[in-house]
Structure 1
Amino acid sequence: MLNVSGDTEFDVFDRNCPGRAVMEHVASRWGVLVLGALLDGTQRFGELRRTVGGVSEKMLAQTLQALERDGLVHREVRPVIPPHVDYSLTDLGVPMAEHIRALYRQIDRSMPEVLVAQGAYDERKAAG
């Protein structure tokens, strides 16, 4: 199947495209934060949970499992007592995380204008 621009065989706009599920994992509320956090290096579950403020244990576990299944995150269990589990980006995950980090930077640069736009919108809504 061709996408809208015709440059790849996958079309995430098609509900049957297998790439759509990957897009949902990567672009989810927690997926973008987990991938961005792991760009800084390997982290254990607890470290990652502290880095990604506000994520529940359950949601972090589900997010990591989905990203691992997609081949973006590597999970390594260290055979010590108690067991340590390390998470890191795979070679496939690094470029996606780099794009996400670029999005973070763009959002950061745009925040002054975004805050002005939000304020103007809120004023219009309150007045009207």
Structure 2
Amino acid sequence: MDLENAARAVRENAYVPYSRFKVGAALRSASGAVHAGCNVENAAYPEGTCAEAGAIAAMVASGETEILEAFVVADSPRPVPPCGGCRQKLAEFAQPDVRVTLATVSGEVLVTTVGDLLPGAFRNDDMGKA
């Protein structure tokens, strides 16, 4: 399955009783597998989960830790970038040049990279050896 179709399909499963703002994300990992996630809200708003985080969790649960490409889709007037936390999560598992496609339900697309979404990302090699 391609990333766009996976993201659009999983978006329909989003649990969004409060915002009604469905988001779907799909990632291609190093093995070529596609991992998808949707946003899941909670009455205690900060406890919800973003679509990108769900897709990353599915990838890690399958035993993989490298993102080669990402696709995110939402029903918005413009392609919406991931929140700050999800930008950092993407940077944890993807190189700065990894392609991220942001799309609207109506078909508008913006192609960017993890590095452009989060310039100056804090990376694991910034911690050094203790």
**TM-score (normalizing by structure 2):** 0.23
**TM-score (normalizing by structure 1):** 0.23
Q: Point out the structure with max Rg over C-alpha.
A: 1
Looking at secondary structure, tell me which structure has more strand per residue. 2
Looking at secondary structure, tell me which structure has more helix per residue. 1
